[in-house]
Structure 1
């Protein structure tokens, strides 16, 4: 079985065969695509202890004045968790904008600012998860496949493996508070 994995922040069009299978944090609206909800992904606001020593804890009620934020690129800023984060940090200054979640994680770990990350990225890495009021909205992780190939052996095997893996990781993806 040959598989190719592409990690891209843009939505590939399954109906135009840009990919056989895709995972995304938004429901599929493309014709001819069969979708399945695989998991729930929780989010949190994080900073390094070093950053907090230098800048203090953010006052989210006031929009986090005097703080620096690590923000995603334009196409990811419309995500529900990033709009939630922007509303709580409107008085902060952008410290870094980046187009990859791993780059944002590295910047937050390096003390460049506070940022909103998926819990599976931020928890257990020595970062401080900050209380910014009501938690950010969680999002569903969707699996999509073109309806013409969903019954092929390799696609069924991949779908089963993904469902099993995400079920096993559920507590890490969206841990209870």
Structure 2
């Protein structure tokens, strides 16, 4: 259930981020990401079970570190088919783990070659697509979130304020500085996943 609430807050926050960076969205990637999301969500709706969390966390962390610090992934992996498969896989896993955002971020960053505004805008839009099906799938499974609506809306508003402040800072960064900071943050998140998997 916590993944459902997390998904709703993330959906609202990423909607605000996408709307503030609308002209920078890479629509070509999104057009291939969207059907992958639908495929992953459909498969996930058939298997509403728990996956081995520690194993999934370590796998996600490994892919994040590879995408951040490894060699550039082949062009076919960031092309239409690779984007569709990545969307399907991460959407499927996100229904059970809720920790795929950093992996999608690392993938989008490579696909956008580190261009900061396109990376932020496209990632936000991709995450909107990925979190939206959770409302339908978990709602159909019987989860009721009306009693948490006020808190969810408050968290979304706080996220929008953070996005506004973050975009002001983003304008002052170069693409190379953004890439370094982005990789560092994603690495910390990956290490946190590894620690959670080991200690959990």
Give the TM-score normalised by structure 1.
0.30
Give the TM-score normalised by structure 2.
0.28
Higher Cα Rg, which structure:
1
- Name the structure, 1 or 2, with higher relative contact order (CA <8 Å, separation 6+): 2
Which structure has more strand as a fraction of its residues?
Answer: 1
